[in-house]
Amino acid sequence: MSVNAAIYGLQGETLSPDEKAFFRDAEPWGFILFARNIDRPRQVRALTDSLRDCLGRDVPIFIDQEGGRVQRFKPPIWRAAPPAERFGALWDREPEAALEAVRLNHQLLGAELIAAGVDADCAPCLDIRVTGAHDVIGDRAFHADPATVAAMGAAALDGLADQGVLGVIKHIPGHGRAGVDSHLDLPVVDADRDLLRETDFAAFKGLDAAVMAMTAHVIYSAIDPENCATHSAEVIAEIIRGEIGFDGLLMSDDLSMQALSGALQQRGERALASGCDVLLHCNGRMDEMVAVAHAAIALDHQAADRAERALAARRAPSHFDPARAIAALEALFADAGLEPAA
């Protein structure tokens, strides 16, 4: 069996016959869910079971569940998790309490996800908060200080892992300084390399627990003035693999975003040629997925090793009492004189 270097979305709350046929033929490494795929817990669990049954293996299933603006499991059925900046505010008063709050929050996120059959979260967001930048990151950032962001990122990964969920750090090597939303346009960051090294890039360093990362569709003109990170061999080799030292599975951000240009197949081919291990395509459009499938080569060599290491990091969830965790989380904020976390 050949597993190919792609993660796909799908259109609805159930798997259609055409999607089943395509996925069996395309053999993607994983899937990703969005709000359009989600109604209630039982439905989501049936969907994730059907995706794994379709491919006949324990395929990883991803979601963007950060909290705040970015959560696909929504209230009132699921908890309203706070945005990352709330934990930054707690850090400024009680750093140790903030780390424990981040861990508890991500245990709660992980428990909800794993119960629904979702075992990979495109979180934490390790982009730093930058005054004057576009608010596409904004309150999704933990803090402006990179060391603080890295510390809270490690706590988030630990909380998710405790419940059997793999975290995906994003958007490496940093989206926080971008002046436009990469969903709609191509950001160009003109900061010099020394500043980037001390700030944006530093937030991603030293996270040994990170087994997966997602690229930024951002041009860093001091390194590669022509290509965004997803399509830049220089950024991936010199910065992500070199200076940052990330050696886990590197997935592209969504290939259908308007920051990228060219046909979908070409976008995918460029990402893999530049050093991405896996292609991410999210919108579930069949014509686009077929195009990406033409680019998605079989996982082999280093990419296959990284994919195997990522999956090997999955573990059974620990015993966990959500009600007790929510109470402890609220107490951490209250003790610091802050409003409740959720």
Instruction: Tell me the backbone φ, ψ of residue 236, rounded to 5 degrees.
Output: -70, -45
What residue has token string 């510390």? 151
Active-site residue, from 119, 121, 200, 253: 253
For residues 110 and 79, the answer to whether their CB atoms sit within 8 Å is no
Residue 57: which residues within 8 A CB-CB, separation 6 or more?
A: none
For residues 112 and 73, the answer to whether their CB atoms sit within 8 Å is yes
Half-sphere CA count of 30, side-chain side, radius 13 A = 27
Q: 253 catalytic, yes or no?
A: yes
Active-site residue, from 53, 183, 192, 208: 183
SS3 279: strand
Residue 321: which residues within 8 A CB-CB, separation 6 or more?
A: none
Residues 322, 110: Cα–Cα separation, whole Å: 11
Q: Tell me the H-state helices in the chain.
A: 17-26, 41-55, 84-93, 95-115, 146-162, 193-198, 233-234, 264-274, 286-295, 301-312, 322-335
The CA distances from residue 1 to 80, 270, 307, in Å, are 41, 25, 15
Active site residues: 183, 253
